Structure 1
C-alpha cells in the first residue's frame, strides 16, 4: 500500500506527540531513534498523569482508587488482546520484554529434561536468545542455532529439518530484525516446530509498531513485545497461549496468586504505565475503519505501514546514492520494517551520530543494538556497529530529505 503525505494525516499525527516540539541547537529535533523507543503519544501521557493525579492504589482493596486500578489493568489487557489477537486472560505485564522472557524461560525450563533441545537464531536481539541459553545451561539442554545468511540478511533455513528435530522443545525467533529491519518468514519455521511438537516463542518488540500481528494465526505460543516501542510507556507485555500458561510455574512469592496470568506478574506492577497502554494502542485504531477495535487497529496499521514504507524507500534511495555509505539490508524481494542500518566510510558510527545531533538536530543512534550475534557475523562490531535510522508515523518526507542531506555533508 502506498501512502504519501497527501493521503496520510501527518499534520494531525504530529500534533499528538508533544516531544516533536523540542528544539536543539536552535533547530527542531528530528527523531530517527524509534527502534530504540518511540516518542509517546499525548493521550498516553495524559492517561499516565491522570492516574497519578487521581490517586493510585494497589489491587484488591475495598476503596475506589483500588477498584479503578484494577479496571485500568483490565482495559489495558483488552486493548492488548485486540492488538495481538489474543484472549485477555493470556496477557501479562512486566518491567520489560527481557525481564518477562527470563521469568518465562526459568518457568518453562522446569518442564524440560537434560538432552532436550532448544533453537535460537543468529539474527535476534539477545533478549530472545540469552534467557533461553541460560535456562538451557541450567537444565542441561542442547542449543541449536538457525544461522543468518550474511549475503541476503535473512535466516538460512537450509538445515531446518536437522536444526528443529524430534528432540526440540522450543524455538525462539524474532518477527523482525531490530538491527537491519528484515521481516522474518515465520511459516517454514513454525510449521517445522509444530510438526515435532515444539513451542514457538516470538519476539515482536521491533515488529509490533509496524506490522499486524495475530499470534494464533501465526502459530506462536509465547509472544512478547513492549509498549514503549509503539508510542506508549515502558511496560513489557507477554501474551501466552492459555494451555501453555496453565502449566507454567514461575518463581513467585508464596502468598502471590498461583493462577494465570497473575502468577507471572510478580510484585506490584507499574500501574501508571499500564494506564498508558490502551491509549497507545488506540492511536493505531484512530486511523482505521471497521466495526471492532481489532478491525480498526489492523486498518490503521495498514495505513501507517504504507506511509512508513514510502519514507523508508526514499531514505534508502538517498543513502544508497552516496559513495561512502554502505547499507546493510535485504534485497527488494524481502519485506522490511522502516529501519535502515548503515555505515559511513572513514567516520566512526558514534561520531556520525554526534555530528547529526550537534550540527543538524537529528537524533539517531549507533551500536549493535543487542543484535550482537548478527553484528559479529557481519564483522561490524570492531568498527563501532551500525548507524540505525528508524522511521515512525510522526516522521516526515522533509525530515528524510534533511537526514540524507546531513549524511551527504559528512
Structure 2
C-alpha cells in the first residue's frame, strides 16, 4: 500500500513551511505537532479558558473538551470506559502521584520488581515508594542476546510477596518491544499488580489494555504528535478501590479523583485532536469504521512504512567502522522493535555526533536519555550514553540518507574527538 508521506508532512507546520526544514530525528524525546492540534489548542484558549462546572457557555465548552479528551484517550488505549483514563501533566508526574495510592496496598517486607530496561519515570517512583514503605526491591534484567525482558528472567523473581511489577513496553534507548502480555500473565499469576510504561510504544503501535491484561498503562501525548500531557489507564474497579490523594472538596468520581487541580483545557483539546489526527491517517491509508478501527489502520500502515526506514538506518550504521548498535539489528526481528536506533563508536564521543549533526540541522540526542539502569547494564559511561536516532511516520528515506551521510563523514574524519 502506498504510504501518503507528502500528505502527512503537509499536516505538520514544522515540515511544510518555507525553506528546507530541519531533519527531526529526535522523536523519542518528543514529536512534532500537526496543524489541527495547534488549531484546537488555540481555539480552546480563545473560547474555553474557564474552569469546569459553571453555568456559562465558556465553562460548558471546557467541560465538553474535557469529556472528549477522555473519550479519545480511551479509544486510543482500548479502554472499556473513559472513567479509566487519568490525564495529567506528564507520565512521570502521574506515576509519582499514583504510586502514593498504590503504596497504601502494601506493607513492610512486601516485594516490588522494577526493570533495568525502563526510563526513570517508571523506576524512581517505585524506588521512592519502596523506601518510604520499607519494601524489598528486585531488579529485572533484560537479555543481551534478544534485547528484551524474557519470561525466564522474571520467573525466579516472583513470589507470594510480589505486589507490583513495573515494566516498559518499548525501550527509549534500544527500541526493543517487550512481550508485555506474557510477562503480565506471569506477574498476575503470582498476585502482583502490573504497571506498564507504554510511552515509547504508543507513537508506533496501538496499545490494547484489555488484551494485555495489565492493571495500569501510561503514555505521553507529546510522544505521539500531541501536546505535553501524560495519560494513565487503570482498571476501573482498581482505581475505585484506591485511596486518592486530593484536596477535600474535589470530586471523588472517576477519573476526577486522580486529576489534581484545574485541568489544562487547551491541552485536552489538543489531545482529542491528536487522536483524531491519527485516525485520519487511517482514513488516508484506506481504513474506515470506528475511531478505534481507523486508529488500528493508521498504526499498521505507519509501522510498515517506519520499518523500511529502520531497515535502511540499521544497515547504514552497521556498515560504518567502529559503530556498535545497541538493540535488535536482525531485519527478521524488526517486528520486535520501534524505529529508535542507538549506537556508540569505539573512539568518538556520542556528544560529538550530536553536536556535529545539529550543525547540519539534523536533530538527534546523545546521553543515557533517562534510561539510567539500561546504560549501566550495557556498561556505558553515564556521561556518554549513546547516540540516539528516532524516526516517526513523517520522516522520509531521504532524511535517513542525509543523516547516514553525515554520520559517515564524522566517522571518517582524520582527527575525531576521542571519547
Q: Does 1:114 align with 2:115?
A: no
Q: Does 1:201 align with 2:195?
A: yes
Residues 321-344 of structure 1: CA deviation (Å, up to 9, x unaligned): 111221111242361000000123
1:287 offset after TM fit, Å? Answer: 2.5
For normalisation by structure 1, the TM-score amounts to 0.95
SS at match of 1:66: helix
CA contact (8 A) 1:146 1:156 kept: no
Q: Distance in 2 between matches of 1:27 and 1:296?
A: 32
Q: Distance in 1 between matches of 2:113 and 2:7?
A: 44
1:175 offset after TM fit, Å? Answer: 0.5
Task: Select which of 150, 167, 179 maps to 2:173.
Answer: 179
Q: Does 1:401 align with 2:397?
A: no
Q: Does 1:10 align with 2:8?
A: no
Q: Distance in 2 between matches of 1:382 and 1:371?
A: 10
- Gapped runs of 5+ residues in structure 2? 411-419
Aligned to 1:338: 339
1:345 offset after TM fit, Å? Answer: 3.3
CA contact (8 A) 1:73 1:275 kept: yes
Task: Select which of 203, 210, 217 maps to 2:204.
Answer: 210
Q: Does 1:257 align with 2:251?
A: yes
CA contact (8 A) 1:204 1:223 kept: yes
Q: Distance in 1 between matches of 2:78 and 2:160?
A: 29
Q: Distance in 2 between matches of 1:138 and 1:348?
A: 39
Q: Does 1:292 align with 2:285?
A: no
Task: Select which of 322, 326, 329 maps to 2:324.
Answer: 326
Aligned to 1:166: 160
Q: Does 1:73 align with 2:29?
A: no
Aligned to 2:352: 351
* 1:98-137 matched pairs, under 5 angstroms: 98-137=92-131
Q: Distance in 2 between matches of 1:108 and 1:100?
A: 12
Aligned to 1:388: 388
CA contact (8 A) 1:326 1:343 kept: yes
Q: Distance in 1 between matches of 2:99 and 2:15?
A: 38
SS at match of 1:282: helix
Q: Distance in 2 between matches of 1:164 and 1:278?
A: 39
Residues 51-88 of structure 1: CA deviation (Å, up to 9, x unaligned): 11224100111101101111001111111111100011
- Gapped runs of 5+ residues in structure 1? none
Aligned to 2:14: 19
Q: Distance in 2 between matches of 1:21 and 1:9?
A: 15
Q: RMSD of aligned C-alpha atoms? A: 1.5
CA contact (8 A) 2:326 2:343 kept: yes
